[in-house]
Each structure stands twice: as C-alpha cells, then as structure tokens.
Structure 1
Amino acid sequence: MRLEFVMVPVADVGRAKSFYQSLGWREDADLGEGPGRVVQMTPPRSDCSAMLVGPTYTNMAPGSVQGLWLAVNDVEAARADLAGRGVDVSEVFHAEGGGIPLPGGQGRVPGLAPNRASYFSFASFNDPDGNGWFLQEITTRFPGRLWE
C-alpha cells in the first residue's frame, strides 16, 4: 500500500490551485466545475498528492487541516524558495527539547536544530484558507525509509 493523496479542504478550489501552482507543484487532475470541482496537485519529487476539495467531497471546514508535512533536504533553501515565491513562511525553528513542533507554535526555538540533526529543523506556512504545512529537514532517513 502507498498513500496516494490527502484531502485538503478549501473554500475556492481555483484560488487554491493557483496558490499551489505558485509553489511549483504539478497539476495532476482538474475535474468538475463549481462546488463539485476537485484538483489534484503534487509537490516536486513526491509520490503523494494534495486533493483540493470543496464542501461537496468533505465535511471538513476549509483551512481545518493542520500538520501537513513536506520533507526537504535543506530547510533553509526550501524556506527561501517559498519566500521568493511570495509565501508567508516562518523563520526556521526547532522544537524546545527536541522532537516535533507543538500545536499553536508553542515551544519553538529560532534556528536550526542543534548539530542540524536530521528530522528536527522546521519552517511552517499556511495556504490561503489556513491549512497548515511544515517543512521538515531530513538529511539522513530512519532505517527502512527510502529517500530518492
């Protein structure tokens, strides 16, 4: 089994499509019209896509999905790329005491993780509806995890 896509609830599928295209994501499908329209977008080098959907396909409120993760080789470079595309992206941070970030921005410490430890440096941004994304720097994968 492989994770194929995650549903990302949005208020305006066309606006969301434009935003994700501005990030350099690939459009895989644009189906339907009006409230039944769905758009599938895939980040560069990802096997999993985001399915942008309105209320026809989900009862999740637009902007209600938080904690979507994008693995990157270099969080500073990825952050700079997003900022250069006009995205309001946080500064790079790590979680106080190590680990993953807490909800609501609690316990964020500015800068890269100590020793730039793989998995522990982050940046975050929201799409126009408020769906929340993290960039997570991964330089060395956990055993058994592939990285291409």
Structure 2
Amino acid sequence: MDWTLEVVLLPVTDIDRAIAFYRDQVGFVLDHDTRNEQMHIAQLTPRGSGCSIVVGNLPSQTEMAPGSMRGLQLVVADAAAARDELVSRGIEASEITVFDERDGGTFFGFADPDGNTWAVQQIKARAAQPLIPVEARQRFGAEQEA
C-alpha cells in the first residue's frame, strides 16, 4: 500500500497575505481559496509537487502558532536559479551553502512573512527525472481547467 503525503497545514496570521506571498512571490499554484461563514482555507501547490500547503483558520491550524513551522523542504534542480528567482520577486533568501559536493548537498533557505522557514535543496537529477512527469502535470492541468 502506498502512503503519500499530500497536504501540510501551515499556520499563518493573515490568510490573504500568505496566499499573495506563496502565489505571487514564491510561485506556488493556488488550487483553491474557499471562504464561507465558518472558515477560510486556501490550498497552494509548488509546481511539480504532489504535496500542497494549506493556510486557513480551521481549528487544527489555529492551535499552531503562526510561524512555528521550521525547515519545510523544497527540492529544485538548480539552487542558484531558484534563489535568483525568489530574490527577484522580493524574497530574502540565505546564501547558498554546499554541505556535500554530491547531488543533494546544496541548500539555501527563506522564510514567509510569519517566520515559517523553508530549506531549498538542490537535486540536479530532478531536471531529467521530475517526481511527477511533465505529461502527468499537463494532463492534471487540463482536467482542472475542464
């Protein structure tokens, strides 16, 4: 039996500000933004990822302190290009650190407006072998538009 991690709840103080940060600055896709009289939740997914973040005001989220998530990890094929992209969008990112010369040993980090922190790991193999094949991403995108 496969067990897949598909959603991580992220505690934030301002849902709309978090949506704008992750969608407009980091580049995540806004999958949905659901509002009604009981709740406001939004799901955002990094391009190429099978796991999303959810920001909102559900009880499980309001029990966590905004900014308390540490070391959430993203993986990219090119850390320098990813860092440059984030910096060009106004995000403060740490310098790139190489802990190990082998693939997977290069990192940089950034934080969201609440202080939730992210580690970005370079795995060059992702360029040739993404976890979710491009064809599947294109097919999923077409299904969402229908």
Q: TM-score range by the shorter chain?
A: 0.7 to 0.9
Alignment match, 2:4: 2
Given that 2:49 and 2:132 are in contact with CA atoms closer than 8 Å, whether structure 1 keeps it comes out as: no
Alignment match, 1:125: 110
Q: Which amino acid counterpart does residue 11 of structure 2 have in structure 1?
A: P
Deviation at 1:34? 7.6
- Segments of 5+ residues of structure 1 without an aligned counterpart are 96-112
Given that 1:7 and 1:52 are in contact with CA atoms closer than 8 Å, whether structure 2 keeps it comes out as: yes
- 56, 78, 93: which one aligns with 1:89: 93
Deviation at 1:56? 3.2
**28 and 81 in structure 1: CA distance in 2 versus 1, 3 angstrom threshold:** same
Question: How many residues align structurally?
Answer: 126
Given that 2:95 and 2:108 are in contact with CA atoms closer than 8 Å, whether structure 1 keeps it comes out as: yes
**34 and 135 in structure 1: CA distance in 2 versus 1, 3 angstrom threshold:** farther
Given that 1:9 and 1:55 are in contact with CA atoms closer than 8 Å, whether structure 2 keeps it comes out as: no
Q: Which amino acid counterpart does residue 14 of structure 1 have in structure 2?
A: D
Alignment match, 1:64: 68
Alignment match, 1:17: 19
Given that 1:9 and 1:62 are in contact with CA atoms closer than 8 Å, whether structure 2 keeps it comes out as: yes
Deviation at 1:83? 0.4
Given that 2:10 and 2:53 are in contact with CA atoms closer than 8 Å, whether structure 1 keeps it comes out as: yes
State the percentage of identical aligned residues.
39
- Segments of 5+ residues of structure 2 without an aligned counterpart are 134-146
Alignment match, 1:75: 79
Deviation at 1:47? 1.0
RMSD of the TM alignment (CA)?
2.1
Deviation at 1:140? 3.6
Q: TM-score, normalised by structure 2?
A: 0.78
Mapped to 2, the partners of 1:13 and 1:125 lie a distance apart of 19
Structure with the larger helix share: 2
Mapped to 2, the partners of 1:85 and 1:68 lie a distance apart of 20
**56 and 119 in structure 1: CA distance in 2 versus 1, 3 angstrom threshold:** same
Deviation at 1:119? 1.0
